[in-house]
Structure 1
Amino acid sequence: MKKTFTFILTSMLFLVACSNSGDGELQSWAFDVITWNNGVYKVTNETVVTTEVEIEIGTIKKYSTNESNELPNLFSNKYKKGTTLFKVKNIETTDYIAVKDNETYQKAIRMKGMNTAATFSVF
């Protein structure tokens, strides 16, 4: 009985693992990204103080967890479609922007030398 239970449990785990290996599987990115104004921004754990948030500069138009060599503008692998992006007071958007995440604003730093028109590798 114990061998049968172990065999069934092992078989179920194997089938579940195999069923997640298709094209629609969630991908593992090296980090969370946002694209805006043809730039690629890395989302950080740092928050931006609400009083430092200036104006809305855009909203996420495409969300996907599938890795790709090309990233469209206004894309994120973390934030859903409709998430708002903001300029931070006295900071150039070429340095960083803020992303509204529920009631807080997350800092997203522009990755130098990377843009949405160029090929992007997450490896």
Structure 2
Amino acid sequence: MKKTIALILTTMLFLVACSNSNQEILQSWAFDVVTWNNGVYKVTNEVVTEVEGEIGTIKIHSTNESSDLPNLFSNKYKKGTKLFKIKNIETIDYIAILDDDTYYKAERMEGMKTAAN
């Protein structure tokens, strides 16, 4: 009986270990970011109601953390997500991201630049 239980537990452990070995490990970011015009912007939950025009499109999406972020990158938004200028606000300070018919404000992070600089 003890051998049967030991065999069952060993088999279960082996199956669990094998089933997890091919899963992609998602890395954890401190916050959601987008990059534009060689600046890094932290995405907020604040909704923007007025935009002036499209300024760019996300070209690269990745959840892999890196200190060298390319321009037009996001760790949250997929390739093709549109970026906008917020009405009466300078893009050096804030931009907007269009997500499911809602514009969200992103704040430029001081001292952070994309890999291009």
In the alignment, what sits opposite 2:13? Answer: 10
Aligned to 1:94: 92
How many residues align? The count is: 114
**Percent of aligned positions with the same letter in both sequences?**
63
Larger radius of gyration: 2
Q: How far is 1:40 from its partner?
A: 0.2
SS at match of 1:34: strand
For 1:65, the equivalent position in structure 2 comes to: 63
Of residues 39, 52, 55 in structure 1, which corresponds to 2:53? 55
CA drift of 1:19 comes to 3.0
**TM-score normalised by structure 1 residue count:** 0.80
Q: Which amino acid aligns with 2:26?
A: L
Deviation digits for residues 67-95 of structure 1, max 9, x if unmatched? 12211100111111110000101111121
Q: Which amino acid aligns with 1:104?
A: T
Q: Once superposed, what is the RMSD of the aligned Cα atoms?
A: 2.1
